[in-house]
Amino acid sequence: MIKYYYPDSTHCYRALHTTHAVYQSDDGKLIARTMKPDKSALYEFETLGFELLKPGARYGRENQPAPRVRDTSRVAKEKGALALFSRS
């Protein structure tokens, strides 16, 4: 599968075998040429970019790595220990 990114911030997916070409036009725009869903003809559209998706791979927000959280357990234990010693 190919994921195309449109200039209006949306995207679409196309099967790899339906893509004919991706090229840069004379005015510098990235153009994709692909087969219509009914296989009647090729059509062209402007795209900001594309991504080749691997078979069996899952893509999306739910698959993004979780943000790193600082482990404060050691610091909290040290502060707790310090608090115990300072209560004399």
CB 1, CB 53: distance < 8 Å = yes
For the stretch 51-63, pLDDT in tens is 888 877 666 555 4
- The token pair at 10 is 């949306």
For the stretch 14-31, pLDDT in tens is 888 888 889 899 998 899
- Produce one character per residue of 23-33: b if its CB has 16 or more CB atoms within 10 Å, e if not: eeeeeeebebe
